[in-house]
Amino acid sequence: MSRSVAGPEIERLIQLLAKLPGLGPRSARRAALHLINKKDELLVPLAKAMDLAGEKIVICSTCGNVDTSDPCLICTDPRRDGTTIVVVEEVADLWALERATAINARYHVLGGVLSPLDGIGPDDIGIAGLVRRVAEGGISEVIIAVNATVEGQTTAHYITDQIGGGEVRISRLAHGVPVGGELDYLDEGTLAAAIRSRTPF
């Protein structure tokens, strides 16, 4: 297609914006223009916020959450029930459960699910860290809050095999999560209800 429309600085900005989830090439162009037109109100502050995020944000070595301290604020908060771990696929799911104030416990972010077809095995997601946390003791319940997809349920069964058989109660979210649905798209009430009626695995 055609000659280059804008200078290299703008083209580069558009190209990078188009890599954000939710923005295609066309919306990336609109976003770039919006940024340029709102230089002082948006472009400069957003660039600064990204610099700061890049500098300060770390991944919690205990649970996989993102925060500015390691261990993260959730892992160190004494007001949380430290005997319960909620296992989620992604940080977005942790955020969704927190927004729903569904439970006041700790988390474990897998960073993915088992997917043999995509070559993703147990060593590629945070299962070993979860097994270690459970082995260290003090945990009475693990709630497996993965997506209701085939890969999610496969992952849930694998985790149950790894940490089951001891004193630790293993549960999963109640039906209420639509089959095939993803946590991050559910409303807060459904999420809270699904946590309340969690069933033994």
Comparing C-alpha atoms, which of 87, 62, 199 is closest to residue 143? 87
Token readout for 39 is 């230089």
CB nearer its own copies, residue 12 or residue 175: 12
**Binding of its own copies at residue 21 (CB under 8 A)?**
yes
Instruction: State which of positions 32-51 bind its own copies (CB under 8 A).
Output: 32-36, 38-39, 42-47, 49-51
Q: How many residues bind Zn ion (CB under 5 A)?
A: 7
CB nearer its own copies, residue 54 or residue 200: 54
**Binding of its own copies at residue 18 (CB under 8 A)?**
no
Instruction: State which of positions 64-103 bind its own copies (CB under 8 A).
Output: 66-68, 73, 90-92, 94-95, 98-101
CB nearer Zn ion, residue 107 or residue 159: 107
Rounded to an integer, what distance in angstroms lies between the CA atom of residue 42 and that of residue 93? 28
**Binding of its own copies at residue 17 (CB under 8 A)?**
yes
Dihedral sign, Cα of residue 117, residue 153, residue 66, residue 29? positive
Instruction: State which of positions 26-85 bind Zn ion (CB under 5 A).
Output: 60, 62-63, 65, 71-72, 75
Contact residues for its own copies (CB under 8 A)?
Answer: 1-3, 5-7, 9-10, 12-13, 16-17, 19-23, 26-27, 29-36, 38-39, 42-47, 49-54, 56-57, 66-68, 73, 90-92, 94-95, 98-101, 184-185, 188
